[in-house]
């Protein structure tokens, strides 16, 4: 293999794939990026056996071939190159020669034969692609990802449920203490399926969408194709693709968790509430992050207490005429909900001290946040 392409294009390729290469795996080959030539194209691929990512770039190819090179070390050496064209040549013993074209700077990096790299998953050739705007997928992830559990021993919670219901696309996440649901319309694209995408896959999907938007914005035609195939889901754009192995588990019956209605609803300016909650979080217990919200006629009182250092209290005027009600909750959970919204006013739904708090934007009903209370 003998290829030349710009440092900028190489960093884009290896930046896209380096995050998936598994540096901690007991299989050394998985810490590598697979480089392959195909005509006048250089393709870089990486996998941890649960995800696989591929990116391509136009290159000057003198000799076709393939080589697996350690991802971290490869990126470090390319970053150390001066701006301009860089040549990568596979030499004897699966060693890569990386040099600046026309200059003396050069590195040699031991790799592995490309044939040793695991086979990458591919969708069924007959699979029907569903085209989605990057903004749509990015919005679904941005407004729900924070309530995915980080506990990998509970795969049904360490994942996001993606549902396509007719022309409605929905993402739901929960860690057992809170639940977030967000849905958007996709006119002209009808399908019916549900997928359980692991947290690591959700993170990579978000990156793919952000890169697509950064390069092409939300112009018509700048879409990401979603394809299904066996145990995997595939997301493809012009020059890159992402394959994710789906979680084989049962997502909690989230509809049963969502209250059909709440006894009391309070409308609050979102930025004002965020300011109050952030201020009270300073005095909250570091261990529990708990704050108390007390509703009285015409007022919402927010307070926090840390047995080791002191307490804090603030109050804002609201339209409320129900009975006095005090509820405790983890302040970060409410702030996460409010932080993913851009609407000016939100609605907080309350029923009782041991009932969940429901968070909705007043002007739109396509987002729903559920936060379970804490005993106070």
Q: In this predicted model, what pLDDT tens digit does every residue of 159-194 receive, in sequence order?
A: 999 999 999 999 999 999 999 999 999 888 889 999
Per the domain annotation, does 123 fall within a domain? no
Do 34 and 71 sit in the same domain of this protein? yes
Domain count, the chain: 3
Closest CA to 146 of 161, 132, 160: 160
Query: Quick check: is 27 in a domain?
Result: yes
Q: Quote the CA–CA distance of 11 and 252 in Å, as a whole number.
A: 40
Tell whether 250 and 142 lie within a shared domain: yes
The phi-psi region of residue 226 (left if phi > 0; otherwise alpha if psi is between -120 and 50; otherwise beta) is beta
Residue (of 340, 334, 149, 167) closest to 251 by Cα position:
149
- Give the residue numbers spanning the domain of 78: 2-116
**Chain segment 215-260, per-residue pLDDT in tens:** 765 555 578 999 988 899 999 998 899 999 999 999 999 999 999 9
Structure tokens at 37: 């030539």
Bigger pLDDT: 338 or 26?
Answer: 338
Does residue 317 fall inside a structural domain? yes
Distance between CA atoms of residues 232 and 53, nearest Å: 13
Could you tell me the pTM of the whole model?
0.91
Give dist(CA 131, CA 168) in Å, integer: 14
- Give percent of the chain above pLDDT 70: 98
Residues 145 and 79 in one domain: no
Q: Residue 324: helix, strand or coil by DSSP?
A: coil
Last residue of a domain, one of 206, 230, 254: 254
48-57, 216-225, 279-288 — which one is most confidently predicted on average?
48-57
Q: What gap in Å lies between CA 273 and CA 266, rounded to an integer?
A: 12
Claim to verify: residue 35 and residue 96 sit in the same structural domain: yes
3-state SS of 13-55 is: HHHHHHCCCCCCCCCHHHHEEEEEEECCEEEEEEECCCEEEEE
List alpha helices for 85-240, DSSP H: 134-142, 199-216
Specify whether 136 is located in the same domain as 173.
yes
User: Would you say 360 and 350 are in contact if contact means Cβ atoms under 8 Å apart?
Assistant: no
Whether 122 is covered by a domain: the verdict is no
The predicted pLDDT at position 220 comes to 55
Same domain, 147 and 246: yes
* Whether 206 and 291 share a structural domain: no
| Pair 282, 260: CB distance under 8 Å | no
In a domain? residue 190: yes
- Gap between the Cα atoms of 149 and 155, Å rounded: 9
Residue at which a domain ends, from 199, 223, 254: 254
Residue 376 lies in a domain: no
Final residue of a domain: which of 220, 254, 288?
Answer: 254
CB 135 within 8 A of CB 206: no
Tokens of 5: 């392409």
In a domain, 71, yes or no: yes
pLDDT at 288: 87
Give tens-digit pLDDT for 189-206.
889 999 999 999 999 999
Statement to judge: residues 250 and 275 lie in one domain: no
pLDDT at 214: 77
Whether residues 90 and 173 share a domain: the answer is no
Mean pLDDT for 71-81 is 96
124 assigned to some structural domain: no
- Are 134 and 247 members of one domain? yes
At 284-340, the pLDDT tens digits run 988 889 999 999 999 999 999 988 889 999 999 999 999 999 999 999 999 999 999
Other CB atoms within 10 A of residue 196 CB: 19
Residues 61 and 75 in one domain: yes
Query: What are the structure tokens assigned to 363, written together?
Result: 């002007």
Instruction: CATH number of the domain at 293, please.
Output: 3.10.150.10
Judgement on whether residues 142 and 233 belong to the same structural domain of the protein: yes
């Amino acid at each position: 293999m003998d290829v030349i392409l710009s440092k900028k294009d190489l960093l884009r390729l290896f930046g896209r794939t380096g995050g998936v290469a598994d540096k901690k795996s007991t299989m050394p080959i998985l810490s590598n990026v697979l480089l392959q030539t195909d005509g006048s194209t250089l393709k870089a691929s990486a996998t941890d056996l649960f995800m696989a990512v591929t990116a391509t770039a136009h290159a000057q190819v003198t000799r076709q071939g393939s080589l697996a090179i350690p991802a971290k070390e490869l990126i470090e050496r390319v970053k150390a190159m001066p701006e301009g064209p860089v040549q990568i040549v596979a030499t004897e013993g699966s060693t890569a020669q990386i040099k600046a074209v026309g200059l003396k700077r050069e590195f040699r990096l031991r790799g592995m034969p490309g044939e040793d790299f695991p086979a990458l998953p591919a969708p069924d050739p007959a699979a029907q692609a569903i085209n989605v705007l990057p903004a749509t997928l990015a919005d679904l992830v941005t407004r729900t990802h924070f309530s995915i559990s980080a506990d990998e021993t509970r795969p049904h919670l360490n994942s996001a449920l993606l549902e396509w219901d007719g022309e409605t696309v929905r993402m739901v996440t929960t860690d057992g203490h809170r639940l977030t649901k967000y849905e958007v319309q996709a006119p002209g694209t009808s399908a019916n399926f549900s997928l359980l995408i692991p947290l690591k896959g959700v993170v990579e999907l978000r990156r793919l969408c952000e890169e697509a938007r950064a390069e092409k914005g939300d112009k018509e035609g700048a879409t990401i194709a979603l394809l299904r195939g066996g145990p995997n889901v595939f997301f493809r754009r012009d020059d890159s693709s992402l394959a994710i192995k789906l979680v084989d588990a049962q997502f909690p019956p989230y509809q049963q968790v969502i209250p059909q209605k709440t006894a009391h609803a309070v409308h609050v300016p979102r930025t004002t509430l965020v300011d109050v909650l952030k201020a009270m979080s300073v005095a909250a217990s570091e261990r529990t992050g708990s704050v108390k919200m007390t509703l009285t006629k015409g007022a919402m009182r927010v307070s926090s207490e840390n047995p080791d250092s002191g307490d804090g209290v603030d109050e804002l005027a609201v339209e409320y005429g129900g009975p006095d009600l005090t509820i405790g909750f983890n302040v970060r959970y409410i702030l996460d909900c409010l932080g993913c919204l851009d609407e000016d006013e939100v609605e907080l739904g309350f029923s009782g001290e041991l009932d969940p708090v429901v968070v909705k934007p007043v002007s739109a009903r396509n987002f729903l946040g559920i936060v379970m209370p804490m005993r106070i």
